[in-house]
Amino acid sequence: MDLLEDDIVPDHARDVKAEARAFAREHIEPNAQERFQSGEYPHDVLAAGQEANLVGQDIPEEWGGRGLDLPQLLALTEEFYRADAGIALTLQLASFGCEITYEYGSDEQCEEYIRPVAEGDQISGLAVSEPETGSDLAGMQTRAEKDGDEYVLNGEKYWIGNGVEADWVTLYARTGDDETNRYGNHSMFIVPTDADGYEAEHIPEKMAMRASKQAHVELEDCRIPEANLIGTEGAGFWMLAEFFNQGRIVVSGHGLGIAAAAIEETWEFVHDREEFGRTINEFQAVQHGLADALIDFERARALSWRACEKVQNGENPGYWAALAKTSATETAVDVTEQGMQFHGGRSILDERRIARLYRDARIPVIYEGANEIQRNLIYGQAPSS
């Protein structure tokens, strides 16, 4: 069974999809279970991904990347996440936040920070969430105060991918307090992780995606040059809103890859396992459960690819991105749970792939904006009659 067929994928994205599939089979799948259990950062797989030009390659060609567009990124993402969500997240977080700089930053910033990521010499991160708020972008409290030709940063960031490993992070901070313009009080900054006053430590244990590392970042009088402001002061909220529209399409690929893996794994298991003198796929309840999983998966995948085209074309992107992210990630939760049920008692064993998938599926429904927030966006941005 192969649920990630490329007939739904635009022609120009199929070569990248094939590259990603070959890479996933050679480098991600063989390391998945060991890295999940050890929780070790997969430096070797990341290096291989950089060497294969499959990491950070949405970066434009002028800054050293391949200029992959959104359909190409979605095609790649499906394949990586079917192989293993934890390692896949590490590969994608290696350039997290770069889009904000190459879309809104200066040529000097791109040359200094973006090109090394595209060429595999550095990795980046994105620091938005805080200990007391995750989805409320306008409520973030980490502050950047102007002092001469520098900004002074104070505050905390939480759940920051590569907060320890990154060479630099794109950081979202408050630069104003205008109560009449709630969405104009934040800005984006490039913050080198070796700057004085930047301290980060790993969040020690996670139930899922353990090969990816997140951090708690503390900023205490952390000084950065004024030149590290991205774009204009006060535009941070709108930069992130656009960034997340693209990102939520990619996250729908997280859900699709996990869901495809769960269905394929379960399909193979029920056709091999015997109960009451016959393989369990012969029971109608199992057949119906798998049929429902396939219906849910194909519906979510069709929506994700339609939404990808809409966002790529700038057609009500917030609405379509929220639809795709919610549908695909919740499908992953549902089908992995069904897969656990059909695996029976063996499903809870650590070495079972379905157990890893079940854990991993719980994470994408939360990041890039919890799905409750996505429903707010869907309702608020739905096309009017």
- 283-307 pLDDT per residue, tens: 999 999 999 999 999 999 999 999 9
Contact status, residue 260 vs residue 297, Cβ threshold 8 Å? yes
Q: Are residues 82 and 131 in the same domain?
A: no
Phi, psi of 154 (to 5 degrees): -140, 135
What domain range is 319 assigned to?
Answer: 238-381
pLDDT for 136: 81
Residues 99 and 128 in one domain: no
Task: Give residue-wise pLDDT tens across range 27-40.
Answer: 999 999 999 999 99
Looking at residue 280, its pLDDT comes to: 84
Q: What is the pLDDT of residues 76-114, one digit of tens each?
A: 999 999 999 999 999 999 999 999 999 999 999 999 999
Residues of the chain with pLDDT > 70, as a percent, come to: 99
Summarize pLDDT for 183-225 with one digit per residue, the tens: 999 999 999 999 999 999 999 888 999 999 999 999 999 999 9
Q: Which residues pair with 223 in a beta bridge?
A: 152
E strand intervals along the chain: 124-127, 143-147, 150-161, 168-174, 186-192, 198-202, 214-225, 229-230, 274-275, 278-279
For the residues of 191-252, what is the DSSP string, one character each?
Answer: EETTSTTEEEEE----SS-TTS-EEEEEEEEEEEEGGGEESSTT-HHHHHHHHHHHHHHHHH
Mean per-residue pLDDT, 49-72: 97
Question: 198 phi and psi, to 5 degrees?
Answer: -100, 115
pLDDT at 385 over 60: no
What is the rounded distance in angstroms from the CA atom of residue 267 to the CA atom of residue 291? Answer: 11
Mean pLDDT of 37-56: 95
Q: Report the CATH number that the domain containing residue 76 is assigned in CATH.
A: 1.10.540.10
Last residue of a domain, one of 188, 206, 233: 233
- pLDDT at residue 277 above 90? no
Residue 112 known to be catalytic: no
Q: Which of 118, 143, 164 is the last residue of a domain?
A: 118
Residue 3 has pLDDT above 50, yes or no: yes
Is the pLDDT at 120 greater than 70? The verdict is yes
Do 101 and 135 sit in the same domain of this protein?
A: no
Rounded to two decimals, the pTM is: 0.95
R_g over Cα of the chain: 21
Nearest one of 350, 367, 330 to 96, comparing CA atoms: 367
Give percent of the chain above pLDDT 90: 89
Instruction: Flag whether pLDDT at 235 surpasses 90.
Output: yes
pLDDT of residue 345: 86
> Collapsing DSSP states into helix, strand and coil, what is residue 66?
coil
Note the residue count of the chain: 385
Q: Which two tokens stand for residue 54?
A: 């499959």
CA distances from 374 to 96, 149, 215, 328, 382 (A): 21, 39, 25, 12, 12
Of the candidates 78, 130, 233, 368, the residue annotated as catalytic is 368
What CATH number corresponds to the domain at position 365? Answer: 1.20.140.10
Which is higher by pLDDT, 185 or 139?
A: 185
Rounded Cα distance between 2 and 259, Å, is 12
103 contacts: CB under 8 Å, gap ≥ 6: 239, 242
CATH number at residue 130: 2.40.110.10
Claim to verify: residue 375 and residue 244 sit in the same structural domain: yes
**Domain-ending residue, one of 118, 139, 171:** 118
| Assigned domain for 1 exists | no
347/331 Cα distance (integer angstroms): 19
Distance from the first to the final alpha carbon of the chain: 41
Q: For residue 43, give the nearest of 99, 114, 120 by alpha carbon.
A: 120
Q: How many CB atoms lie within 10 A of CB 149?
A: 8
Specify the DSSP class assigned to residue 6.
S
Query: Within a domain: residue 269?
Result: yes
**Considering the domain boundaries, does residue 3 fall inside one?**
no
Mean pLDDT to the nearest integer, 128-137? 85
- Residue 205 has a pLDDT of 82
Residue 384 pLDDT level (bands cut at 50, 70, 90): confident
Q: What is the pLDDT of residues 142-178, one digit of tens each?
A: 999 999 999 999 999 999 999 999 999 999 999 999 9
CA distances from 27 to 90, 121, 259, 269 (A): 13, 20, 20, 24
- Our count of domains for the chain comes to 3
